[in-house]
Amino acid sequence: MTDSIQVDLNFSLGGKVALVTGGASGIGSAIASAFAAKGAVVGVIDINESVARSKADELGNGAKSFVCDVSDPRSVEAVFAAAQAAFGRIDIVVNSAGVALLAPAEDLSLDAWDKTIDINLKGTFLVSQAAGRALIKAGKGGKIINMASQAGTVAIDQHVAYCASKFGVIGLSKTLAAEWGKHGITVNTISPTVVLTDLGRKAWDGPRGEALKQRIPTGRFAFPEEIAAAAVFLASNGADMINGADLLVDGGYTIV
Ligand code: NAD
């Protein structure tokens, strides 16, 4: 135990290696760019091989892409082995891969339910577990940041499987935070309102989106860069004492 610590208020990630699932598009892509801008070497992990490769090329600074289906344990294991071999260390892992399959609860197919839970919840668990194993073995602590949603705190119309998955992501992240804090590993979630990405636009274009927007106190949807800013902070040493938190980036949607 030291008497004092130095907090870098520039929230630098220099010398860190960060893996970002769903890093090819949307929020994950913005996080990958922000981490690289802060000096991290980034592994872009995505099921979409060509877009992930272009993203890694765009980032430079030693970035590499890895193809992975986060819902498949063998695929996750292979990617962590490949990332360890490529980078020699892992410090930060972000789970941003996700899907939103929406329908009135009475109409949602079992396939849509299974796919949502497999990717959003099981995928987040598998990647977090692989990250925890690697970080515990290395013995130097680390950061795991899982993308949840305002739909992990409140009910959202036509989002039954999505809400179940995101409530689950918050619950599993708090549990991992409690178990792994002793290893210097923090696990936190970020919960955005609607973000202007492919996923967000597809789910919320039109009158339902306008009605939801009216209920957001700040009166607008979020941009991916605003979620990336929260991720940079949580990944930095300025957030070493933040563990098991859910950081809502929802313009106040869940407080009204
Ligand atoms: P997006 O569709 O733009 O990007 C998702 C990425 O995940 C894509 O690159 C996709 O190829 C990848 N992916 C999908 N399935 C995968 C799998 N099985 N294995 C690996 N990669 C896979 O979505 P986004 O808007 O950037 O969302 C990112 C995360 O943020 C998701 O978890 C989503 O639930 C959450 N979120 C999004 C919003 C929003 O409005 N956009 C709001 C709250 C939370």
Mean pLDDT rounded to a whole number for the chain: 97
Structure-token pair, residue 43: 């592994």
Instruction: Give me the mean pLDDT over the 169-193 stretch.
Output: 99
Structure-token pair, residue 253: 């949607």
Indicate whether 118 pLDDT > 80: yes
Q: Which atom of ligand 1 is nearest to the CA of 227?
A: 30
Rounded CA-CA distance 162/70 in Å is 16
pTM of the model: 0.98
Q: Which atom of ligand 1 is nearest to the CA of 24?
A: 9
**pLDDT tens profile 208-251:** 999 999 999 999 999 999 999 999 999 999 999 999 999 999 99
Structure-token pair, residue 85: 């071999």
ipTM above 0.95, yes or no: yes
Instruction: State the pLDDT at residue 1.
Output: 66
Give the strand order in the sheet containing 17-21. 64-67, 41-46, 17-21, 92-95, 142-147, 185-192, 246-249
**Pocket test residue of 116, 124, 195, 246 for ligand 1, highest count of atoms within 8 A of CB:** 195
Rounded CA-CA distance 67/122 in Å is 17
**pLDDT tens profile 35-50:** 999 999 999 999 999 9
| Residue 2: band (very low, low, confident or very high) from pLDDT cuts 50, 70, 90 | confident
Q: How far is CA 71 from CA 36, 39, 62, 127, in A?
A: 26, 29, 27, 9
Indicate whether 206 pLDDT > 70: yes
Instruction: Give me the mean pLDDT over the 88-108 stretch.
Output: 98
Active site residue 253: no
SS3 of 186, please? strand
Ligand 1, CB within 6 Å, residue ranges? 21-22, 24-28, 46-48, 68-71, 96-100, 119-120, 123, 147, 149, 192, 194-195, 197-200
